[in-house]
Amino acid sequence: MNQMKDNLEDYLRYAQVERGLSINTINSYHQDLIEYYDFLQENDEQTWEVDPILVNSFFAALRDQNKATSTLSRMLSSLRKFYQWLLRQHIIEKDPLIMIDAPKKEKRLPVALSSTEVEDLLNSPDVNKALGLRDRAILETLYATGMRVSELINLEMGNLHTDLKLVKVLGKGSKERLIPISDVAASWINKYDQQVRQKQILKSGKYTDFIFLNSHGKQMTRQAIWQIIKKYCQKAGITKNVTPHTLRHTFATHLLENGADLRVVQEILGHSDISTTQIYTNLTQKHIMEVYNKSHPRT
C-alpha cells in the first residue's frame, strides 16, 4: 500500500474513532475519497498536495458525468475535511481546496405526500399476513415520528416508552434524542410484536431486541425498508418520486401546515442546524398560497 493510501485509511480510522461518525458516514467518506484518489492516480500524482487546477479538473469531470449538485457539494465537503486533517498532521503544507468554490445549490424541494396519499399508503399492507402487519407498523412509525430509516432499523424494544408516548432514537453522530410517538403507531408496533415478532424469536431460538425483523428473524436493512416503501407506494397508486426520506419529509410538512413551531420540528427531526429544517417552510408557504387562492373571494 502506498503512502497516499495509508493517509486515507488513517483518516477514516480517525473519523470513526475520534469523531464518532456513523458507519454510513464513514462509508460515504471512503467512497468519495477513493474516487478522488483514483483520479489523482490517473494523473500520476504521488502526493495529496496537488495544484488547485487539478482539483478543478476533478470537479469538472464529475459535472461532465452529470453528477447532481448535491453530490458535488458532498464530495467537496468530504475533501475539505480530509485536507484539513492532512494539514493538522503536517502531511501537506498547502490546502489546494482553498480556492475551490462550492457548487451552487439547486433549489429542489423535498417531495411530500398529501394526507390522502398517506392514508392510502398506510392502508396498503395486508395486515392479515405476518409481513403485512410488520410493514404497516413500519409505515405508521415512520409517519408518526419522522425518524430516519437508519434510526428505524436500529430501534430496540427498550427504546419504546408507550406510557410516556416517547421513543428514543440514535441519530447522526451517535446523538440520542427522545421524540413523540402516537398511540396509533405504538398500537401497531404492539400488534406486530405480539402476533409476529415474538413468534419469530421463539422459532429462531435467538433473542434480539431489535423491533423490526426480516423473515429470518434478523435486523432489517435500510435497503429492505426502501423496497417496502416503494412497493406500497406503487400499490397505493402514488406516482410521486418517492425516496426513503419521503415519509420524514411528509411528517415535517404536515406538522408545519398544522401550526407546529419550527424549533419543535427541528428538535424532533434531530437537525443540528435550523436552516436544514427551514426548507419545509417553503413547502408550507406553497400550501398557504394554495389555500389563499382557493379561499379568498377576490383572487
- In terms of Cβ atoms closer than 10 Å to its own Cβ (0-12, 13-18, 19+), residue 10 is middle
User: 294 catalytic, yes or no?
Assistant: no
Could you tell me if 160 and 186 are in contact, meaning their C-beta atoms sit under 8 angstroms apart? yes
User: 172 catalytic, yes or no?
Assistant: yes
> Annotated catalytic residue: which of 172, 222, 235, 287?
172
C-alpha cell at position 208: 434480539
pLDDT of residue 100: 79
pLDDT of residue 288: 62
Kindly tell me if the per-residue pLDDT of 296 is higher than 70: no
> Annotated catalytic residue: which of 30, 168, 271, 287?
271
Average pLDDT of the residues in 238-264: 89
Query: Which of 78-92, 95-109, 175-189, 247-261 comes out lowest in average pLDDT?
Result: 95-109
CA distance 124 to 141: 15
In the beta sheet, which residues pair with residue 108? none
What class, spelled out in words, does domain 115-294 have in CATH?
Answer: mainly alpha
Closest CA to 217 of 198, 189, 191, 192: 198
pLDDT bucket at 233, cuts 50 / 70 / 90: very high
In the beta sheet, which residues pair with residue 166? 161, 180
C-alpha cell at position 162: 408507550
Our CA angle for 235, 241, 247, nearest 5°, is 75
CB atoms inside a 10 Å sphere around CB 297: 4
Kindly tell me if the per-residue pLDDT of 97 is higher than 90: no
pLDDT digits (tens, 9 = 90+) for 190-229: 999 999 999 999 988 889 999 999 998 999 999 999 999 9
User: 129 catalytic, yes or no?
Assistant: no
Domain 3-88, what fold?
Answer: DNA polymerase; domain 1 (1.10.150)
> Annotated catalytic residue: which of 134, 248, 249, 254?
248
- In terms of Cβ atoms closer than 10 Å to its own Cβ (0-12, 13-18, 19+), residue 190 is middle
User: 248 catalytic, yes or no?
Assistant: yes
Please give the mean pLDDT across all residues of the chain. 89
> Annotated catalytic residue: which of 148, 197, 249, 254?
148
Which residue ranges make up each domain of the chain? 3-88, 115-294
pLDDT bucket at 291, cuts 50 / 70 / 90: low
**Maximum average pLDDT range among 39-43, 107-111, 128-132:** 128-132
C-alpha cell at position 249: 419529509
pLDDT of residue 298: 66
pLDDT of residue 289: 67
pLDDT digits (tens, 9 = 90+) for 253-285: 999 888 888 888 899 998 888 877 877 776 666
Contact residues for 227 (Cβ-Cβ < 8 A; gap 6+): none
pLDDT of residue 109: 66
pLDDT of residue 248: 93
Query: What is the three-class DSSP state of 145?
Result: helix
User: 148 catalytic, yes or no?
Assistant: yes
Average pLDDT of the residues in 90-95: 92
- DSSP-assigned letters across all residues of 77-138: HHHHHHHHHHHHTTS-SS-TTTTPPPPPPP--PPP---HHHHHHHHT-S-TTSHHHHHHHHH
User: 206 catalytic, yes or no?
Assistant: no
